[in-house]
Amino acid sequence: MKPPPRPHMLSRVSALLAAALAFGACVTSSQAEVSYPAYARPILARTLLAQNGWTVSVSRADVAFGPLYLCAAQSGSATLCETAVGEILRVQRVDALAGEQPLGAVRGLEGPIRSAGYDMGITWFDTQTSATPAAAAPDGHSVVVEGVATRGADTVPFRLVVDAVPQFQGQRAVPTTKASGVVTSGDARLDVTFDVTRWLASVDFDEALARPERPAVLDATSTAHATMLVAIKALAPPKLTWGP
């Protein structure tokens, strides 16, 4: 005998379906995306003391910075940090004689940052056949400093250019440098300090004095270039600090 319909059973099934629907949007996820501003904070006295008693008066100091990749790994190299937790993709020209200035926005994820890798206006990406200066790089260089070096009666106007070139294709100019910060929200801010005073203080301008042309041009063939590069990369690299 055919049993009578039991609509109440079906309505219970429907009620359970509705309950399931109510939970449909509940998901748990990992790191959230953030975006926060970055600022350049150059340190440069207009007159400073360099090696061998040279006093330097600076009339122009431009620094190219970027792109910047922030990594959670202890090393920010391309091979050890394939996935970044933050980045600034633009190349920004920083006027080291000016005050604080924006570097752009950091896009990334919440979480700890332990290292960084960056270029200084000259890139050699995977898809570039050679190292290439960015449009924003001052005169196609990483750093350009112009001024006058004075020691006693010797006065030498100079133009010092530095090219921070990646060592090989796919590498950053500064493959990895220590950084320490924890980003928990988009309220963060990144300050990048460029101690240009310490960079110039490492240069001996005797080399400039010996050069015939005026202003003396200290380029990639010069000792000053190498000295400055060591200062930029190792002695006083750009310092990254995170704050509210």
Q: Using CB under 8 A as the criterion, which residues of the chain lie in contact with other proteins when the complex forms? A: 2-3, 5-6, 9-10, 12-14, 16-17, 19-21, 23-33, 67, 69, 71-75, 79-87, 89-91, 107-112, 114, 123, 125-128, 168-170
Yes or no: say if 73 and 81 are a contact pair by the CB < 8 Å rule.
Answer: yes
| Residue 1 vs 210, nearer CB to other proteins | 1
Query: How many angstroms separate the CA atoms of 120 and 233, rounded?
Result: 10
Closest distance between other proteins and the C-beta of residue 95, in Å?
22
Please choose, from the candidates 203, 205, 197, 207, the residue with its C-alpha nearest in 3D space to the C-alpha of residue 230: 203
Please choose, from the candidates 183, 32, 39, the residue with its C-alpha nearest in 3D space to the C-alpha of residue 112: 183
Closest distance between other proteins and the C-beta of residue 80, in Å?
5
Please choose, from the candidates 237, 165, 167, 163, the residue with its C-alpha nearest in 3D space to the C-alpha of residue 199: 237
Query: How many angstroms separate the CA atoms of 236 and 215, rounded?
Result: 27
Query: How many angstroms separate the CA atoms of 94 and 42, rounded?
Result: 8
| Residue 157 vs 170, nearer CB to other proteins | 170
Closest distance between other proteins and the C-beta of residue 243, in Å?
21
Closest distance between other proteins and the C-beta of residue 174, in Å?
15
